[in-house]
Each structure stands twice: as structure tokens, then as C-alpha cells.
């Protein structure tokens, strides 16, 4: 039986530490080649109806084309707690259709196909996480508009923190550029 003292080694002091030899440095594992690393096989692209939608669809299509990945564009209509979850959204149907059509047109401009999905939910973040889980997505891509609160602090909202905390896959958050007048 080996005593604990035989396995214990003192930590070297900063003056005792040594740099690796050239042979050791050459044999160190190399970083993965980004051209050979598969980023995702299936991605859920979250649409919010804002100016960042086209940007994230172009980004997702560009990366997906390289790996022949599937793209699912999801637009979530948030339903108030006072209404039934299957409430008729006829008053917003044109806006909803415009968001999904824009995503499909943008993907077609990039010579890529995207599957549009419309969801009605109480909470956008939870719906996106559930959809990513159902779709078995390995990437969730969200757009973040650049906006400030009244005090001038940058506002991120509540959806993105929820998704970052609960998503079962990798998450990309793409913030739109700072407007010229704010810079």
C-alpha cells in the first residue's frame, strides 16, 4: 500500500518552473483546424421580427452551407397569460408571415433552404429552448438588437440570459452594430 506522502509532490516555485523543450512544444496537441471542425449539423435560428433577423439568417446559411447542416427558423409569438395559449393571432398574422417570409427569402438569396416554424408560447426563451431540444439542434442562434435603457446602460432583455442558462446546445448571440448616432 502506498502512503499519501509517496504520491504527494510539492508544487514548484516560480523560479523552479521550466519552459517546455522544443521537442515537447512540437509534440503538444495542435489546435483544431477551423476548416475541418464541424460547427453544427442542425441549428435553430431565432427570429424576433427585428433588423437582426436578416443578419443572423445570412450568417447561419453561410456556415450551414459549408457543413450541409439543417436550418430551422423559429418565430415565437408571445401570448399573454390572460389569453388561452391557442389564441387566434389574426391581428398579427401579416407581421408574423412577413417575419417568416423574410427569413426564407434571405436564405434563398444565400442559396440555402431554411425551414420556417411558428410557435405560440407564454415565454419566448422557454419556447426556444424547448424547440432546440425537440429539433435535436446542436446550435441556437439569436439576434440581439442594440438598445439602451433610459439610464444609457446596454439592455440585453430576459430571453437571452434564459437561453444561455438553459439551452441544451451551443448558443450564438449576434448583436447588431452600434448605430452611427450612438457611437
Joined grid coordinates for residue 150? 433610459
For residue 102, the surrounding DSSP H or E stretch is helix 93-109
Q: By mean pLDDT, which of 128-132, 144-148, 160-164 is the weakest?
A: 144-148
Whether residue 135 lies inside any domain: the answer is yes
For residue 133, pLDDT over 80 is answered with yes
Whether residue 29 lies inside any domain: the answer is no
Whether residue 151 lies inside any domain: the answer is yes
Domain of 151, CATH number, reads 3.40.50.620
Whether residue 92 lies inside any domain: the answer is yes
Q: How far apart are CA 177 and CA 180, in angstroms?
A: 9
Whether residue 26 lies inside any domain: the answer is no
Give the whole-number percent of the chain exceeding pLDDT 70. Answer: 73
The total domain count for the chain is: 1
The 10s digit of each residue's pLDDT in 163-183 is 999 999 999 999 888 877 755
Q: How far apart are CA 115 and CA 33, in angstroms?
A: 30
Please provide residue 127's backbone torsions phi and psi, each rounded to the nearest 5 degrees.
Answer: -65, -40
Q: What is the DSSP string of 106-168?
A: HHHHTT---EEEEEEES-HHHHHHHHHHHTT-SEEEEEE---B-TTS-B--TTHHHHHHHH-S
Whether residue 18 lies inside any domain: the answer is no
Average pLDDT over residues 99-123: 95
The 10s digit of each residue's pLDDT in 25-69 is 455 445 455 566 668 999 999 999 988 999 999 999 999 998 899
Q: What's the domain range around 69?
A: 46-175
The model carries a pTM of: 0.75
Whether residue 95 lies inside any domain: the answer is yes
Amino acid at each position: 500500500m502506498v502512503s499519501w506522502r509517496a504520491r504527494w509532490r510539492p508544487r514548484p516555485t516560480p523560479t523552479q518552473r521550466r519552459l517546455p523543450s522544443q521537442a515537447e512544444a512540437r509534440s503538444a496537441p495542435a489546435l483544431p483546424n477551423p476548416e475541418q471542425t464541424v460547427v453544427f449539423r442542425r441549428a435553430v435560428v431565432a427570429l424576433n421580427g427585428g433588423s437582426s433577423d436578416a443578419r443572423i439568417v445570412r450568417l447561419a446559411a453561410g456556415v450551414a452551407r459549408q457543413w450541409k447542416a439543417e436550418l430551422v427558423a423559429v418565430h415565437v409569438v408571445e401570448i399573454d397569460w390572460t389569453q388561452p395559449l391557442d389564441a387566434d393571432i389574426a391581428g398579427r398574422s401579416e407581421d408574423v408571415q412577413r417575419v417568416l417570409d423574410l427569413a426564407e427569402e434571405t436564405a434563398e438569396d444565400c442559396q440555402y433552404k431554411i425551414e420556417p416554424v411558428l410557435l405560440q408560447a407564454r415565454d419566448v426563451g422557454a419556447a426556444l429552448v424547448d424547440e432546440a431540444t425537440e429539433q435535436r439542434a446542436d446550435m441556437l442562434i439569436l439576434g440581439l438588437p442594440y438598445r439602451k435603457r433610459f439610464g444609457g446602460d446596454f439592455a440585453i432583455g430576459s430571453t437571452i440570459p434564459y437561453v444561455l442558462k438553459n439551452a441544451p446546445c451551443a448558443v450564438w448571440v449576434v448583436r447588431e452594430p452600434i448605430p452611427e448616432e450612438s457611437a
